[in-house]
């Protein structure tokens, strides 16, 4: 099979899932975006995305235990913990978001970096840097949740899966996503690469990079642009579900 034929077959294979129920989320097909869609707010969505690690049932149990009204009232929950985050970590994180929400929107902060060269990594640097600046608190759990400020290199660097998922939710305005932010090109997004998506992409021959890092996420995104140059991340949920439900085995 020549390259053009193989590429077309892969596109047809992925497109076939888009016609079904791949984007369906419910009690049997759980996903953290259920919380984001319930509140339809950028700050709540950020909480839902950054705590989206581990078992999806445990994630949703924790997310459903939060009284998100603290973003308006300033009454910060002080008795919640989740996996690597202690009660102090979650309290300080929620306090940080409350403080930030009183000053600016996440969208505006992100755009300060993004608009320089229409680069989402520059926007992400601006966001994470601002979060660390507004609150001096630090711990392993706190920094694990937020992540490091993105360096200039991509090889051997975290793919920032939870952050990229948040950006997908905010920017894409179709299918399952919220589209709360405007003026950011869907073609500039980077796929939220998790282990399911990475393994699936390797099996399908979409990428060859075996290292699970930001470089692999960028390479996969560029490959998917061959199928849809304006909206490559419409295939993200497809690849995730294929891996999650072991549809290739």
d(CA 89, CA 93): 6
d(CA 170, CA 163): 11
Residue 37 lies in a domain: yes
Tell me, what's the pLDDT at 2? 43
Q: Please state the domain count of the chain.
A: 1
Tell me, what's the pLDDT at 72? 96
Tell me, what's the pLDDT at 6? 55
DSSP 123-184: HHHHHHHHHHHH-----HHHHHHH-PPP-S--TTS---HHHHHHHHHHH--STT------S-
Tell me, what's the pLDDT at 249? 59
Q: Is the pLDDT of residue 5 over 60?
A: no
pLDDT in tens, 104-153: 999 999 999 999 999 999 999 999 999 999 999 999 999 999 999 999 99
Residue 249 lies in a domain: no
Residue 224 lies in a domain: yes
Residue 20 lies in a domain: yes
> In the chain, what percentage of residues exceed pLDDT 90?
87
> In the chain, what percentage of residues exceed pLDDT 70?
96
| Domain that includes residue 13, residue range | 3-244
Residue 226 lies in a domain: yes
Q: Is the pLDDT of residue 1 over 50?
A: no
Residue 184 lies in a domain: yes
Report pTM.
Answer: 0.95
pLDDT in tens, 191-241: 999 998 999 999 999 999 999 999 999 999 999 999 999 999 999 999 998
Tell me, what's the pLDDT at 102? 96
Tell me, what's the pLDDT at 58? 97
Compute the average pLDDT of residues 158-169: 98
Own/partner pairs, 108-117, CB within 8 angstroms, 24+ separation: 110/167, 110/181, 110/184, 111/183, 111/184, 114/184, 114/188
């Amino acid at each position: 099979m020549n390259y053009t034929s193989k590429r077309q077959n892969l596109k047809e294979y992925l497109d076939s899932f888009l016609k079904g129920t791949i984007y369906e989320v419910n009690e049997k097909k759980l996903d953290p975006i259920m919380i984001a869609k319930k509140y339809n707010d950028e700050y709540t969505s950020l909480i839902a995305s950054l705590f989206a690690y581990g078992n999806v049932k445990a994630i949703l149990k924790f997310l459903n235990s939060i009284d998100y009204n603290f973003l308006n009232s300033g009454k910060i929950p002080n008795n919640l913990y989740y996996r690597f985050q202690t009660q102090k970590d979650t309290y300080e994180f929620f306090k940080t978001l409350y403080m930030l929400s009183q000053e600016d929107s996440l969208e505006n902060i992100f755009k300060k970096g993004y608009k320089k060269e229409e680069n989402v990594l520059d926007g992400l640097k601006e966001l994470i840097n601002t979060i660390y600046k507004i609150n001096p608190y630090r711990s392993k759990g706190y920094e694990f949740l937020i992540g490091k400020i993105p360096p200039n290199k991509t090889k051997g660097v975290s793919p920032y899966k939870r952050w990229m998922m948040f950006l997908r939710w905010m920017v894409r305005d179709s299918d399952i996503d919220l589209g709360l932010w405007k003026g950011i090109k869907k073609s500039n997004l980077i796929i939220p690469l998790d282990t399911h998506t990475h393994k699936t992409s390797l099996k399908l021959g979409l990428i060859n990079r075996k290292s699970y890092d930001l470089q692999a996420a960028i390479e996969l995104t560029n490959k998917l642009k061959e199928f849809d140059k304006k909206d490559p991340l419409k295939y993200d949920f497809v690849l995730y579900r294929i891996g999650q439900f072991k549809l290739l085995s």
